[in-house]
A = this chain, B = another copy of it.
Amino acid sequence: MAYADAHILIVTCASQTGLVAAWSGCLFDAGANIIEIHQHADLAEGQFFMRIAFTAATPPDRAILAQVAARFDAHWQFYPAGARQRVLIMVSKFDHCLADLLYRWRIGELAMDPVAIVSNHPREATRAVATDDIPFHYLPVTPMTKAAQEEQLWRLVTETGADLVVLARYMQVLSNEMAAKLSGRCINIHHSFLPSFKGSRPYHQAQARGVKLIGATAHYVTADLDEGPIIEQDVERISHADTPDDLIRKGRDVERRVLSKAVHYHLQRRVIVNGHRTVVFPD
């Protein structure tokens, strides 16, 4: 849904009585019209999550919203629905996720501004993808230069004003420090299997184990590698006839689909982190 004057309000706080009434009443008093309301009460944790999309000729006064928030000790965020996030995309040699994100951006499906593409491989490695005039930064990395490379990366994040960093099959592990700095605004994609496999060449392991499904998981990056809050997952059916190369091919489809969906949800402010988990309000 697209409205010229729409806004998104995100609220998180401890569960308590009167939350919906207070926030919706405050918006009504400010002349706003609610288009969409999503709410989730995590009863086990006693946490409350709400996303309200509303239109208003004049946006509500932030001071008034702050007063309501103070009453409930709530964490809140408030965005114009049309605000485009600035996105820095990182990639290594496999560019299927990058290609998919950029195509969806070009046709207006992903409302983002790609401000930089960063790769630990030269531009030639991702030659199948037209990156137009998005600045491409080649930041090679070795165990020795990792700290310096991440410093360069952080400078780029800062200089470009990136709101979101997408690891679109970036095959390097971010340091704990970097993961902490990008907390809640860095999305990674990785393959997933039933059961899961540790170590390298997971598609080869999956083929050797004879699984009948392969999958992918998009999640926020945390210091704990591949264990951050999950945003989206999906699977693809395979068979005994699939070679590891076939699995890699079929894996590309599910990887790009899952990552693009996760980025779409994030850009629409539909994902709220809840500890090790996420609340995702679907569109």
Using a CB–CB cutoff of 8 Å, the interface residues on chain A facing chain B are 1-2, 17-22, 24-25, 27-28, 31-37, 39-43, 95-96, 99, 103, 106-107, 109, 128-130, 192-196, 208-213, 215, 217, 229-235, 239-243, 245-246, 249, 252-253, 257, 274, 276-280, 282-283
Enumerate 19 A-B pairs (CB-CB under 8 Å) in ascending A order: A17-B28, A20-B34, A21-B21, A21-B27, A22-B28, A36-B39, A36-B241, A40-B241, A103-B129, A195-B195, A208-B276, A209-B230, A210-B230, A210-B274, A211-B230, A211-B233, A212-B232, A213-B235, A246-B283
Q: A24-B24, A210-B274 are in contact. List 9 more A-B contacts (CB 8 A).
A: A1-B43, A17-B33, A21-B24, A24-B25, A99-B103, A194-B217, A211-B233, A239-B282, A240-B280
Name, among A27, A39, A210, A242, the residue most crowded by chain B CB atoms within 10 Å (CB to CB): A210
Query: Chain A interface secondary structure, helix, strand, loop or mixed?
Result: mixed
Give the docked Cα–Cα distance between A240 and B245 (Å).
26
Q: A34-B19, A278-B210 are known contacts. Are A1 and B243 too (CB-CB below 8 A)? A: yes
